[in-house]
């Protein structure tokens, strides 16, 4: 049994770390971020290891927190995945952001972002979920434009406007649900069949956050932000909470009309194909990975739209696999950009010789995103496509398989252009990145491989909580 006070304390750790990071001297800001995330991860693992996810009566319960938050295994799975990725990104940021004038603001927003995610995934109240949803939007807006350069500010404002349109749509959907049921409690709404209008409005909000067609334009342009920000947006927090919210709304609580669920399935398959095609044509390293993120998120939303036990498990395995592998790819791209100041893959090449550790780590993460065994990405793609076949979605499975082949193409095109062949004009002065940055990329590569070799570990956890 989980003590309610300890649980609330755990949720507060990132917010406390944000205040410390803003208040402490410059030399201690990154340490405050790292220590707070490490403490949150350690406490989260300890709470997750309890035999029961029931929260005990406590001061927290008397304050009404029990009506706002619900503890379940899927929320823990999501929170621990994101905390692990965020902790490693914080370590990477120590090298990448060294010398930045906006260090205090960066770490403050970073930690509030992570804390808002934790609040969102455990929310059992529609209003609380929406508040945390909007907090992540504000943090991402500020983080994308943190350098205050015109191009960055334009991208930040675009992201904020598109996700805000989605947020307003979601709020309208929540209002319709309340008008029909008289409650904001997701627990009380369990098995409630959502009306078509309300469900489509909420899905619009989810699509805007997860950058699904046609509400995707903000994500590729957000690549102007510092690499730790793009990794946090694309791999760890922002786009994933859209997919998670879909599960929380329409799998764990309410149910969708079959026609609406079919619409989501079709839209996600189209996004997977179109975004993969866009990635194959891009030459900017971050935009390639951004379109890749759109495509990979579509697999997760597709899995959740099927709403079967195997599909839900596949969706969460995919969240975990993509979080680690895509973070590794973004941070490896950041090492290249930070070292050479170049994002056009046509000006690079031959970096395998001068950046061997980054190269090796990139390969493993790339194999996982491409779905090549024995990485965890292979098992994730296999699980989603198998779930499609089990649900008699043959054509969807074929198109998702085609998107997987396209993923292999653009990922290995990226690798060939950047790391192999003759050195390009911008690569002649290349050198390996800082030790802390390269180490983090290597850790993501090791995790992506280890989780594939030990696939029974994550699947065993999911079996426990299903």
- Do residues 263 and 199 lie in contact, with contact meaning Cβ atoms separated by under 8 Å? no
Q: What pLDDT does 340 receive?
A: 84
- Do residues 322 and 444 lie in contact, with contact meaning Cβ atoms separated by under 8 Å? no
Q: What pLDDT does 381 receive?
A: 96
- Do residues 66 and 3 lie in contact, with contact meaning Cβ atoms separated by under 8 Å? no
List the one residue out of 127, 91, 383 whose CA is nearest residue 228: 91
381 CB-contact burial (10 Å; exposed 0-12 / middle 13-18 / buried 19+): buried
Q: What pLDDT does 426 receive?
A: 63
- Judge whether residue 271 has pLDDT over 50: yes
Whether 148 is in a domain gets the answer no
- Judge whether residue 64 has pLDDT over 60: no
Q: What pLDDT does 113 receive?
A: 93
Whether 149 is in a domain gets the answer no
Give the containing element (helix H, strand E) for 292.
Answer: helix 285-306
Whether 236 is in a domain gets the answer no
Parent domain of 293: 257-466
Q: What pLDDT does 55 receive?
A: 55
- Judge whether residue 427 has pLDDT over 70: no
Measured CA to CA, the distance from residue 365 to residue 370 in angstroms comes to: 9
Q: What pLDDT does 315 receive?
A: 95
Q: Output the pTM of the full model.
A: 0.93
314-355: pLDDT as tens digits: 999 999 999 999 999 999 999 988 888 888 888 888 888 888
Whether 393 is in a domain gets the answer yes
Q: How confident is the model at residue 26 (pLDDT cuts 50, 70, 90)?
A: confident
Measured CA to CA, the distance from residue 30 to residue 99 in angstroms comes to: 12
Task: Kindly report which listed range (197-206, 246-255, 376-385, 387-396) carries the lowest average pLDDT score.
Answer: 246-255
Whether 359 is in a domain gets the answer yes
- Do residues 416 and 354 lie in contact, with contact meaning Cβ atoms separated by under 8 Å? no
Choice between 233 and 385, residue whose per-residue pLDDT is larger = 385
Q: How confident is the model at residue 2 (pLDDT cuts 50, 70, 90)?
A: confident
- Judge whether residue 278 has pLDDT over 70: yes
Measured CA to CA, the distance from residue 255 to residue 439 in angstroms comes to: 44
Measured CA to CA, the distance from residue 90 to residue 108 in angstroms comes to: 12
Q: What pLDDT does 60 receive?
A: 47
Q: What pLDDT does 342 receive?
A: 84
Q: How confident is the model at residue 270 (pLDDT cuts 50, 70, 90)?
A: very high
Q: What pLDDT does 53 receive?
A: 58
Whether 328 is in a domain gets the answer yes
The mean of the pLDDT values for the chain is 89
Number of domains in the chain: 1
358-369: pLDDT as tens digits: 999 999 999 999
Task: Give me the mean pLDDT over the 413-430 stretch.
Answer: 79
Whether 57 is in a domain gets the answer no
Whether 300 is in a domain gets the answer yes
Q: What pLDDT does 228 receive?
A: 87
Q: How confident is the model at residue 51 (pLDDT cuts 50, 70, 90)?
A: low
Query: Which residues in 75-123 belong to E strands, given as ranges?
Result: none
Q: Would you give the DSSP letter of residue 54?
A: P
Percent of the chain predicted with pLDDT > 90: 60
Q: What pLDDT does 405 receive?
A: 97
Q: How confident is the model at residue 227 (pLDDT cuts 50, 70, 90)?
A: confident
Angle, alpha carbons 305-370-212 (nearest 5°): 40
Q: How confident is the model at residue 465 (pLDDT cuts 50, 70, 90)?
A: confident
Question: Cα–Cα distances in Å, from 265 out to 20, 255, 258, 320?
Answer: 44, 15, 10, 21
219 CB-contact burial (10 Å; exposed 0-12 / middle 13-18 / buried 19+): buried
How many alpha carbons fall within 13 Å on the CB side of residue 5? 4
Q: What pLDDT does 378 receive?
A: 96
Q: What pLDDT does 170 receive?
A: 96
Q: What pLDDT does 132 receive?
A: 95
List the one residue out of 286, 294, 314, 332 whose CA is nearest residue 88: 332
Q: What pLDDT does 57 receive?
A: 47
Task: Give me the mean pLDDT over the 76-103 stretch.
Answer: 87
């Amino acid at each position: 049994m989980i003590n309610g006070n300890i649980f609330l304390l755990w949720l507060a750790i990132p917010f406390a770390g944000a205040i410390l990071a803003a208040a402490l001297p410059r030399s201690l800001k990154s340490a405050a971020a790292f220590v707070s995330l490490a403490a949150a991860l350690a406490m989260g693992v300890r709470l997750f290891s309890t035999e029961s996810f029931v929260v005990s009566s406590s001061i927290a319960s008397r304050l009404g927190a029990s009506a706002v938050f619900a503890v379940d295994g899927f929320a823990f799975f999501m929170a621990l995945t994101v905390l692990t990725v965020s902790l490693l990104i914080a370590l990477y940021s120590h090298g990448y952001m060294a010398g930045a004038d906006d260090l205090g603001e960066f770490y403050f927003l970073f930690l509030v972002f992570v804390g808002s995610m934790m609040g969102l995934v455990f929310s059992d109240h529609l209003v609380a979920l929406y508040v945390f949803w909007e907090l992540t939007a504000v943090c991402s807006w500020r983080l994308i434009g943190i350098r205050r350069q015109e191009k960055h500010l334009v991208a930040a404002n675009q992201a904020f406007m598109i996700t805000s349109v989605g947020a307003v749509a979601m709020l309208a959907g929540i209002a319709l649900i309340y008008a029909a049921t008289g409650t904001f409690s997701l627990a009380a709404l369990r098995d409630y069949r959502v009306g078509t209008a309300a469900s489509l409005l909420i899905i619009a909000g989810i699509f805007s956050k997860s950058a699904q067609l046609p509400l995707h334009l903000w994500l590729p342009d957000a690549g102007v932000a510092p690499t730790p920000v793009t990794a946090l947006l694309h791999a760890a927090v922002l786009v994933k909470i859209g997919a998670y919210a879909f599960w929380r709304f329409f799998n764990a609580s309410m149910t969708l009309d079959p026609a609406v669920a079919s619409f989501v399935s079709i839209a996600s398959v189209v996004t997977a194909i179109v975004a993969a095609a866009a990635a194959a044509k891009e030459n900017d390293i971050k935009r390639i990975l951004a379109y890749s993120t759109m495509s990979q998120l579509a697999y997760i939303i597709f899995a959740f739209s099927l709403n079967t036990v195997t599909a839900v498990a596949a969706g969460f395995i995919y969240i975990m696999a993509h979080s680690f592998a895509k973070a590794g790819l973004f941070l490896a791209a950041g090492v290249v950009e930070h070292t050479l100041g170049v994002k056009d893959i046509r000006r690079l090449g031959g970096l395998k010789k001068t950046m061997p550790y980054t190269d090796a780590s990139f390969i493993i993460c790339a194999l996982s995103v491409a779905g090549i065994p024995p990485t965890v990405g292979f098992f994730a793609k296999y699980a989603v496509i198998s779930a499609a076949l089990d649900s008699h979605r043959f054509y969807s499975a074929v198109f998702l398989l085609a998107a997987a082949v396209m993923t292999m193409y653009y990922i290995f095109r990226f690798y060939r252009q950047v790391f192999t062949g003759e050195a390009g004009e911008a690569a002649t002065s290349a050198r390996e990145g800082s030790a802390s940055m390269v180490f983090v990329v290597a850790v993501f590569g090791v995790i992506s491989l280890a989780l594939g070799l030990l696939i029974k570990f994550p699947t065993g956890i999911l079996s426990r909580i299903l």
